[in-house]
């Protein structure tokens, strides 16, 4: 199930639990799946049409004086349209929740104008922000619940393509706590991915296992705050080798967040895979490959660490 679809299911579920949950969208509800909430609670859904600045402002307004728990969604790329409003939202100590779908090159054919590749950077730079990047349906649902209960600006990054459910329904999630989703006694590298690239990392782990090599795979769950302790512990257990892989540009995203977390620790080597240069239209899987963040590239990067 795509995490975008899981968002819709989760929001409707949350809306069932609390009458104060309201949802907003910018004429993309059938893409972001906020329509699932709308169908269940039409009176608590606000269509903002194609006007993202205003949608963010309206969401902030809805959340003032604790009148509602507001979730506003659109394509992650279009939150760039409302960035000044988001910046002011932090200065205003707003508790608004923003959900951006269609992140990264994994959206495929529609091309770069619809792809968010800088959203992790801009949301990380917001002081009061918590950045969730759930990798499956279960963790998406937990992210929605946590956002509703976390102060400040919460951003949840969802993806377009379907992917496997990897967590059991009773897995507990917390802000700033990563999950080690694959490990063994003889892991040689720690690979950190999120969303689409977490699944690519798992696929790479399978490829490498068949070559007799094991890797540890970490799902950060929240990019901000980042679980530095888990990452460090894992790095130490894997001879200091870390590979980060993200469906995002190199600057300001998962890779730089990890660098900031492990920076200064001796003996840690970090290899970063990310999208470089403006991408293009194509099939989702072809683009992941073309822009160096697919399972094949992750496996190559792992093999490269042996060579060095």
Partner 1 sequence: MEDYHKPDQQTVQALRNIANRLRINSIKATTAAGSGHPTSCCSVAEILSVLYFHSMKYRPEDPRNSNSDRFIMSKGHAAPALYSMWVETGFLKESELLSLCQVDSSLEGHPNPKQQIVDVATGSLGQGLGVACGMAYTGKYFDKSSYRVFCLLGDGEMSEGAVWEAMSFASYYQLDNLVAIMDINRLGQCDAAPLQHHVEKYQKRCEAFGVEELCKALSQPRHQPTAIIAKTIKGKGIPAAEDKLGWHAKTLPKDMAEMVTKDLQSRIMNSSKHLYPPSPVEDSPPVSLRNIRMPSAPSYKTGEKIATRKAYGMALAKIGRYNERVVVLDGDTNNLTCSDIFKNEHPNRFVECYIAQQNMVSVAMGCAARERNVVFASTLAAFFTRAYDQLRMAAISECDINLCGSHCGLSTGEEGPALMALEDVAMFRALPTATIFYPCDGVSTEKAVELAAMTKGVCYIRTSRQDSAIIYNSNEDFHVGEAKVVYQGKDDQVTVVAAGVTLHEALAAAEHLKKERISVRVIDPFTIKPLDVKTIIDNTRATRGRILTVEDHYYEGGLGEAVSSALINEPGLNQVRLAVSHVPRSGKPHELLKIYGIDRDSIAQSIRKMLSSSTNAK
Minimum distance from CB of 276 to partner 1 (Å)? 7
Determine if residue 162 is left, alpha or beta; phi over 0 gives left, psi from -120 to 50 gives alpha, anything else beta. Answer: beta
What sign results for the dihedral spanned by CA atoms 211, 216, 221, 223? negative
Pair of tokens at residue 308:
């060095």
Specify the residue, 6 or 257, whose C-beta has the smaller distance to partner 1: 257
- What DSSP assignment string belongs to 201-232? HHHHHHHHHTTT-EEEEEE-SEEES--HHHHH
Which residue of the set 35, 47, 52, 109 is catalytic? Answer: 52
Specify the residue, 141 or 200, whose C-beta has the smaller distance to partner 1: 200
- Phi and psi, residue 192, nearest 5°: -110, 120
CB 56 within 8 A of CB 96: yes
Residue that is written with structure tokens 């009061």 in the block = 128
CB 46 within 8 A of CB 71: no
Specify the residue, 186 or 276, whose C-beta has the smaller distance to partner 1: 276
Minimum distance from CB of 212 to partner 1 (Å)? 26
Q: How many CB atoms lie within 10 A of CB 27?
A: 14
Using CA atoms, how far apart are residues 118 and 274, in angstroms rounded to an integer?
A: 11
Specify the residue, 8 or 141, whose C-beta has the smaller distance to partner 1: 8
Full strand arrangement of the beta sheet holding 187-193: 179-182, 214-219, 187-193, 241-249, 269-275
C-alpha closest to that of 143 among 130, 128, 159, 132:
132
Minimum distance from CB of 290 to partner 1 (Å)? 7
3-class SS at 103? strand
CA 259 to chain CA centroid, Å, is 18
- Mark whether 171 is an active-site residue: no
Minimum distance from CB of 210 to partner 1 (Å)? 28
Minimum distance from CB of 193 to partner 1 (Å)? 18
Specify the residue, 280 or 296, whose C-beta has the smaller distance to partner 1: 280
CA 277, 275, 84, 126: dihedral to nearest 10 degrees? -140
Per DSSP, what are the bridge partners of residue 4?
none
For the chain, how far is it from start to end, CA to CA, in angstroms? 38
Residues that bind partner 1 (CB under 8 A): 27-31, 35, 47, 49-54, 77-78, 80-81, 83-84, 86-88, 90-91, 108-114, 117-118, 121-122, 124-128, 224, 249-253, 255-257, 259-260, 263-264, 266-267, 269-272, 276-278, 280-283, 286-287, 290
Specify the residue, 142 or 250, whose C-beta has the smaller distance to partner 1: 250
Q: Which amino acids are annotated catalytic? A: 52
């Amino acid at each position: 199930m795509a995490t975008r679809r899981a968002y819709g299911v989760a929001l409707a579920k949350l809306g069932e639990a609390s009458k104060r949950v309201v949802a907003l969208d910018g004429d993309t509800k059938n893409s972001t799946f906020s329509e699932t909430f709308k169908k269940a609670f039409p009176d608590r859904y606000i269509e903002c049409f194609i006007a993202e600045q205003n949608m963010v402002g309206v969401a902030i307004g809805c959340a003032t004086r604790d009148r509602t728990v507001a979730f506003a969604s659109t394509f992650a790329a279009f939150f760039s349209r409302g960035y000044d409003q988001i910046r002011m939202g932090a200065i205003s100590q707003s508790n608004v929740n923003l959900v951006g779908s269609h992140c990264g090159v994994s959206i495929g054919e529609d091309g770069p104008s619809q792809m968010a590749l800088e959203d992790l950077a801009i949301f990380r730079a917001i002081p009061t922000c918590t950045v969730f990047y759930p990798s499956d349906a279960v963790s998406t649902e937990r992210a929605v619940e946590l956002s509703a209960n976390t102060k400040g600006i919460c951003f949840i990054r969802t993806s377009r393509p379907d992917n496997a459910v990897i967590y059991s329904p009773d897995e507990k999630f917390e802000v700033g706590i990563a999950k080690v989703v694959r490990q063994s006694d003889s892991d040689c590298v720690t690979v950190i991915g999120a969303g689409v690239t977490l699944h690519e990392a798992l696929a790479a782990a399978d490829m490498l296992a068949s070559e007799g090599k094991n890797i540890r795979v970490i799902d950060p769950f929240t990019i901000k705050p980042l679980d530095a302790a888990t990452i460090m512990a894992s790095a130490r257990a894997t001879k200091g080798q870390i590979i980060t892989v993200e469906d995002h540009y190199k600057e300001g995203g998962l890779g730089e967040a990890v660098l900031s977390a492990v920076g200064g620790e001796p003996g840690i080597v970090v290899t970063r895979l990310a999208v470089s240069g403006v991408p293009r239209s194509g099939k989702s899987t072809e683009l992941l490959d073309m822009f160096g963040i697919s399972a094949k590239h992750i496996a190559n990067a792992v093999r490269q660490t042996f060579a060095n």
